[in-house]
Amino acid sequence: MKMRTRIALITLLLVFAGCAAWAVEPRERLADPTLEARARGISGQLRCLVCQNESIDESGADLAHDIRIFVRQRLTAGDTDAQTVQSVVNRYGAFVLLRPPVEPATYVLWYGPPLLVVAALAGSLLWLRRRQTAPESETAPLNAEETSRLQRLMRETDG
Partner 1 sequence: MKRIFYLLPLALFLVLAAYFALSLRPGRDIHELPSAMIEKPAPAFELPGLGDSAPLALNALKGHPVVINFFASWCVPCRIEHPLLMRLAQQNRIPLYGIDYKDKPEDGTRLLATYGDPYRLAGMDRDGRTGLDFGVYGVPETYVIDAGGIIRKRFVGPLTAETVDQELLPLLKQLGQS
Q: How far is CA 46 from the centre of its chain?
A: 15
Q: Please state the closest distance from residue 89 (CB atom) to partner 1, in A.
A: 7
Q: Does 95 bind partner 1 (CB under 8 A)?
A: yes
49 binds partner 1 (CB under 8 A): yes
Q: Residue 107: CA atoms inside 13 Å, Cβ hemisphere, count?
A: 3
Min. distance of Cβ 95 from partner 1 in angstroms?
6
Q: Which of 10, 50, 150, 154 binds partner 1 (CB under 8 A)?
A: 50
Q: CA 88 to CA 62: how far, in whole Å?
A: 16
* Residues 138, 156: Cα–Cα separation, whole Å: 29
> Which residue, 141 or 159, has its beta carbon nearer to partner 1?
141
C-beta closer to partner 1: residue 30 or 49: 49
We find the least distance from the C-beta atom of residue 88 to partner 1, in angstroms, to be: 9
* DSSP-derived 3-state class of residue 70: helix
Cα gap 86→97, rounded to integer Å? 10
Contact string 57-76 vs partner 1 (x = CB under 8 A): -----xx--xx--x------
